[in-house]
Amino acid sequence: MIVADPKPFGQVKGYLENFEKILIVGCGTCTTVCLAGGEAEVQILASGLRIAFGREGLSKTVLEDCVQRQCDEEFILPILSRVENEQIDAVVSIACGVGVNFFADRLGKVPIFPGLNTTFYGAGVEPGLWAEMCAGCGDCITAHTGGICPIARCSKQLLNGPCGGSEKGKCEVDPANIDCVWQLIYDRLKRLGKLEDLQSLLPAKDWRTASDGGVRRTIREQLYRLK
């Protein structure tokens, strides 16, 4: 899932100083799960803005909404209609950056502002703790590393074993909290009886699938309709 953190309240408030009718929109999937952008967070942010602006003697209308996903047309159509029908001046999205972009392409002259900082693709390791496990590089190599990703989970993105800073299974960047991913890979391959896989060197990473050539797209021919 995509993990995000709330932007500082003062920063979000600053975006909205020149707008009178504001709509806060949450997302019911990723940012709800990581407790950053669901219905509860919409209510908290909206209430905080009302109080903050009220203390300054500013009469602003702060409205609330939340959709299942902000990255699919069918879910945001009601928001687009609401923005038009209720003459909303500005929108704050507390989805990931994808939601902000998706709305921005469809809101016409109405500005949209991010309420969160999108951080990484992560997994829920334990209640209240999410850890990065995928970098979205577009060329998954975990078939060679026991299903564990050295791109996302190695501080130096090393592809063929640990650096000299690995000690007692920990990473020198933060020994108290970061496991050396190559220790994890070794242990995993040993359990699988596939330690010989470590003898096959991985080539230098081709980053073109990760960031080169503009916007990346995926097409499923069975769903995609040419217009």
pLDDT, tens digit, for every residue of 98-147?
999 999 999 989 999 999 999 999 998 888 999 999 999 989 899 899 99
Measured CA to CA, the distance from residue 83 to residue 176 in angstroms comes to 48
Among 43-52, 177-186, 202-211, whose mean pLDDT is lowest? 202-211
pTM of the model: 0.84
Measured CA to CA, the distance from residue 116 to residue 177 in angstroms comes to 25
Q: What is the chain's mean pLDDT, rounded?
A: 92
CA dist 221 to 209, 218, 224, 227, Å?
20, 10, 5, 13
Confidence of residue 194 (pLDDT cuts 50, 70, 90): very high
- Over 70: is that where the pLDDT of 224 sits? no
Q: What local confidence, expressed as pLDDT, does residue 175 receive?
A: 95
Q: What is the mean pLDDT of residues 17-28?
A: 97
Confidence of residue 216 (pLDDT cuts 50, 70, 90): confident
Measured CA to CA, the distance from residue 80 to residue 97 in angstroms comes to 18
Of residues 58 and 224, the one with the higher pLDDT is 58
Residues 83 and 3 sit within 8 Å (Cβ to Cβ): no
- Over 60: is that where the pLDDT of 227 sits? no
* DSSP summary character for residue 205: P
Q: Which domains does the chain have, with CATH numbers?
A: 2-119 (3.40.50.2300), 137-205 (no CATH)
- Over 90: is that where the pLDDT of 226 sits? no
Closest CA to 103 of 72, 126, 127: 72
